[in-house]
Amino acid sequence: MGKSVVVLDYGFGNVRSAERALAHVGADVEITADFDRAMQADGLLVPGVGAFAACMAGLTAVRGDWIVGRRLAGGRPVMGICVGMQILFARGIEHGVQTDGLDEWPGTVEPLQAPVVPHMGWNTVKAAEGSALFAGTAEDARFYFVHSYAVRSWDLETQSDRIAGPKVSWTTHGEPFVAAVENGPLWATQFHPEKSGEAGALLLANWLGTL
């Protein structure tokens, strides 16, 4: 049996694509919103497609905020994808309306400032030094993005003399924005590894290897 992964089904994500991609790299995958199953799994994947506010409403409706918080408090791995990453930040602003996120990281999800929006298609990522998520990927590896909002600045210290801080990876589309974060048991990507071919599969395998 592979490592058990629950893809949290709260109505806002490409759950089938995520299920197939995780199974491809050897995970034992279940799609569910069941609280106990999500808590017991080796890993929890939080997908997300659509608007920040709607995703937060859907997540809280299935107690996903509690699930994420309790898992992280116990050092249990969680990975967010696309809006599933965005809602881990303090807040999102869409059409002038601010919505509170899970506040695992400081920062604001804002409209991406670029000549062409949404940012849709393949792009490279400048991986953080020492990244475990991007281990083994080529420097010119390309990943699939589709989004109009992003975290355009990082407000948390990435390292200190005493403790290793989050590893933050970046992509540029019009301007730099946060493409991925690795922070202890909490990892997240703005792009879709489940739609990024073998490069994305390698990232999911790297995550699976930490469970």
Report how far residue 111's alpha carbon sits from residue 94's, in angstroms, rounded to the nearest whole number.
7
* Residue 120 DSSP symbol: E
Q: Among the options 19, 82, 104, 119, which is catalytic?
A: 82
DSSP characters for 16-64?
Answer: HHHHHHHHHTT-EEEEE--HHHHHHSSEEEE---S-HHHHHHHHHHTTH
CA atoms within 13 A on the CB side of 38: 26
The pLDDT tens digits along the chain (211 residues) read 789 999 999 998 889 999 999 999 999 999 999 999 999 999 999 999 989 999 999 999 999 999 999 999 999 999 999 999 999 999 999 988 999 999 999 999 999 999 999 999 999 999 999 999 999 999 999 999 999 999 999 876 655 445 567 999 999 999 999 999 999 999 999 999 999 999 999 999 999 999 9
Q: Into how many domains does the chain fold?
A: 1
Task: Tell how strand 149-151 and strand 142-147 pair up.
Answer: unpaired
- 192 catalytically annotated: yes
- The reply to whether 194 belongs to the active site is yes
CATH number at residue 149: 3.40.50.880
Q: Which of 119, 147, 173, 192 is catalytic?
A: 192
What range does the domain containing 167 cover? 4-208
Give me the catalytic one of 19, 104, 182, 194. 194
Catalytic site includes residue 24: no
- In this prediction the pTM is 0.94
